[in-house]
Amino acid sequence: MKKWLLALVSVFVLAACGDKEEEVSTREVIEEGTVGFEIAGGNIKEAADIPEDVKKEVVAAFDEYIAAFNAGDIDRYAATTARNAKGFDYEADLVEAKKVFDNYTVNRQAEDVTIVKYNESEAQVYANLSISMTEKATNTPISSNGRQVTVFVNENDAWKVSSVHYIENQ
């Protein structure tokens, strides 16, 4: 039951699903190369030729995205997401995030944060995530570990989340 509930929450917010007409699984997106990363010898490879200032901006945007979600602050979270996101409907995502914030205490910890694809308009950030949630009404804990690629777009000179692809570790 706990795994099912976490999967449901992941579908709504962590995987950033929205009102898109055509649903594509995270695994398919990664396999097609739209979003992806390469593991060599157990290590994630960083994208080449990322300007150092951009690298700092993108990682700071990712850190703020995680921190805003952990804080349960809907305005702060909204400020991290793209208005014209490719992976979710902006307004629908905020509604679902608010439901999560109202009903759960969330703690997401990211490790191995690495920019795996980059161009001037898009950056893909890979991270290993540990997710702990507690339902406020029942004090029921839920946890998950997985890999996530967060796609950022440069929107109005700021890096914003445009899609999120999460695969739970088995």
Structure confidence by residue, pLDDT tens digits, 146-170: 999 999 999 999 999 999 999 998 7
Which domains does the chain carry? 2-168 (3.10.450.50)
**Average confidence (pLDDT) over 66-89:** 97
Alpha-carbon distances of 56 from 50, 64, 134, rounded to whole Å: 10, 12, 32
Structure confidence by residue, pLDDT tens digits, 15-61: 444 433 333 444 444 444 555 555 445 678 999 999 999 999 999 99
Structure confidence by residue, pLDDT tens digits, 96-113: 999 999 999 999 999 999
For residue 124, the cross-strand partners are: 117, 151
Tokens found for residue 91 = 């307004």
- The whole-model pTM stands at 0.81
